[in-house]
Structure 1
């Protein structure tokens, strides 16, 4: 039985970007979708680790050999932040059940600084179930860096081997295992219940 359960946020409890969110961002950017998303993801890790939105979008524009004016950057930031604020009600319900059952919960998320206050304002009620919220933009370390897992375990007051980690990204799961955690690739709430016999 794990002493602590650590969840990823996006793709596990919170939803990934919906098609309409993707289309909105593409429309604002006004560039070919393929190269845009390649640049968006390739340059994301520094943004997750605390880089400013202005510098991130300048880097994306540079990779694409275009220029986003200030108004476009503001619209891109707004659309990008909005695209990451949806959640899975079934997983939120499960988090509440685990907390009510006395489980120690941690959240380990690669998340940009601009999104944190927006997300917490919308979802503070269920985020309060977590003993630790380890955000990459605050720690300066993004998954799959080993230190990210050590930080969340340390803040929970346990060793990595005392944690069950759930993430939708296989690379993050493999890195968690290398750090000593029991870790599984997320499929659905039923899988988590089975792992914990909830």
Structure 2
């Protein structure tokens, strides 16, 4: 049994953006898909690694050939942050069970700096069950950079080989395995229960 269980956040515990969230962002930007989302994701890695929200949306505008005024930038930031705060209650319940059973829990998330306080304010109760929360924006590297996994393990006081990592992104799972972690692509809470024999 691995000493520590390291979870990804978005797509595992937290939910991806809804259709309505996406449409709101497109409307605020005045840019239709697929151009909006191609730029949104192409520019995300520096944002996850600590770039400011204002700089991100300025770069987005430049890439899309539009200029966002200050009010639009603020509206885009607020809508984007809000779009990433939903969670799967089944996974929250599972975290509670694991914590109560004395399992060592870690979080390794690609997350932008401005979202951290918003997400933690809304979900601080169950987030407190993690012995270490490793956020890309605070360590300066994002998955699948191998250093991110090593830092996450180190913060839990274990080696990567002592961890099982669960993420919904196959590239991130492959990278975790390169560090020596056992790693699995997330499909459902029931799958996690089977993996961890909960």
Fold conserved between structures, TM > 0.5: yes
Structure 2 gap ranges (5+):
none
Superposed CA deviations along residues 149-177 of structure 1, whole A, max 9, x for unmatched, are 00000010001010000000000000000
Q: Which residue of 1 aligns with 2:29?
A: 29
Deviation at 1:31, TM superposition (A): 1.0
After TM superposition, the structure 1 = structure 2 runs for residues 42-121 of structure 1, keeping only pairs within 5 Å, are 42-121=42-121
The separation in 1 between residues aligned to 2:68 and 2:33, in whole angstroms, is 15
What secondary structure is seen at the aligned counterpart in 2 of 1:16? Answer: coil
Deviation at 1:180, TM superposition (A): 0.8
What secondary structure is seen at the aligned counterpart in 2 of 1:123? Answer: helix
May I ask how many residue pairs the two structures share in their alignment? Answer: 198
Q: Which residue of 1 aligns with 2:137?
A: 137
Structure 1 gap ranges (5+):
none
TM-score by length of 2: 0.99
What secondary structure is seen at the aligned counterpart in 1 of 2:94? Answer: helix
The separation in 1 between residues aligned to 2:125 and 2:32, in whole angstroms, is 39
Deviation at 1:76, TM superposition (A): 0.3
The separation in 1 between residues aligned to 2:42 and 2:180, in whole angstroms, is 27
Deviation at 1:32, TM superposition (A): 2.0
Deviation at 1:137, TM superposition (A): 0.6
Q: Which residue of 2 aligns with 1:195?
A: 195
TM-score by length of 1: 0.99
The RMSD of aligned alpha carbons is 0.5
The separation in 2 between residues aligned to 1:81 and 1:54, in whole angstroms, is 13
Superposed CA deviations along residues 97-127 of structure 1, whole A, max 9, x for unmatched, are 0000000000000000000000000000000
What secondary structure is seen at the aligned counterpart in 2 of 1:9? Answer: coil
Superposed CA deviations along residues 125-160 of structure 1, whole A, max 9, x for unmatched, are 000000000000101110000000000000100010
The separation in 1 between residues aligned to 2:93 and 2:6, in whole angstroms, is 16
The separation in 2 between residues aligned to 1:9 and 1:195, in whole angstroms, is 18
The separation in 2 between residues aligned to 1:61 and 1:38, in whole angstroms, is 12
Deviation at 1:33, TM superposition (A): 1.6
After TM superposition, the structure 1 = structure 2 runs for residues 119-130 of structure 1, keeping only pairs within 5 Å, are 119-130=119-130
What secondary structure is seen at the aligned counterpart in 2 of 1:33? Answer: coil
Q: Give 4+ residue runs of structure 1 displaced > 3 Å after superposition.
A: none
